[in-house]
Amino acid sequence: MLAVDGLEVSYGPVRALRGVSLTVAEGEMVSVVGPNGAGKSTLLLAIAGALAPSDGEIRLKEQSILGRPTEAVARLGISLVPEGRNIFTQLTVEENLRLGTQMRRDKDRVEQDYAEMLAVFPILAERLSNPGGKLSGGEQQQLAIARALMTGARFILLDEPALGLAPIVVETVYEVLRRLREERAITLLIVEQSTHRALENADRVYVLRQGRIELEGPSGELDEKAVERAYFGYD
């Protein structure tokens, strides 16, 4: 579904991504793990069209999306849930969800998708009139994911969905993500800091360090110690 090949992104003289290549098949959950400053968020922003790579290629279903603006990428079915969630705290849960439909042209499907989101995220159905800022961290994360899906996207990019959440809440969020992949065939590319969480949940894992892919493979075939060595740069 997605192929990134030789991607290079720089911030002035600083090279954030150095020839990064990865693939994501339709219906997969793929994790990119790495320490702070590895280039993980930069990778997602480049895929979403928010950053302009200096070299490389990004293809969605064999179609180049390199250099396309974020609105055009979103219309092709990719939606980004950024680090920190970025929900509108003063708007209600329902208003946040309906904001996700602004670019859609298939208005006849919107209400059906809205009802499905409330079934997938029952806690949001109970909080429809609550301001987004009054939700717990885990509820806000579910709202951010649901809003991304309300765009009609079939491919969701998530930047550290577990950040700042209690362990039991993290498991709830990942349970939702697993259901989306299994029941709705949503494709997921997830940036993570936890190697254990990535190996436990993802189909495949890439280790990104200092802008380069250091290790990759199916999660069931990767040794956790080898992943940690690549993560920290141990010999």
The CA distances from residue 105 to 37, 109, 235, in Å, are 38, 9, 52
Q: What is the pLDDT of residue 69?
A: 92
Q: Which residues contact 18 (CB under 8 A, 6 or more apart)?
A: 8, 210, 211, 212
The pLDDT tens digits for 141-163 are 899 999 998 888 899 999 998 88
pLDDT of amino acid 117: 87
Give residue-wise pLDDT tens across range 104-116.
777 778 888 899 8
Q: What is the C-alpha separation between 79 and 75, in angstroms, rounded? A: 9
SS (H, E, C) 174-196: HHHHHHHHHHHCCEEEEEECCHH
CATH architecture of 2-84+152-232: 3-Layer(aba) Sandwich (3.40)
Which residues does 21 contact at the CB level (< 8 Å), separation at least 6? Answer: 4, 5, 6, 7, 213
SS3 for 127? coil
Domain ranges of the chain: 2-84+152-232
Q: Which two tokens stand for residue 126?
A: 């109970």
Q: What is the pTM of this model?
A: 0.92
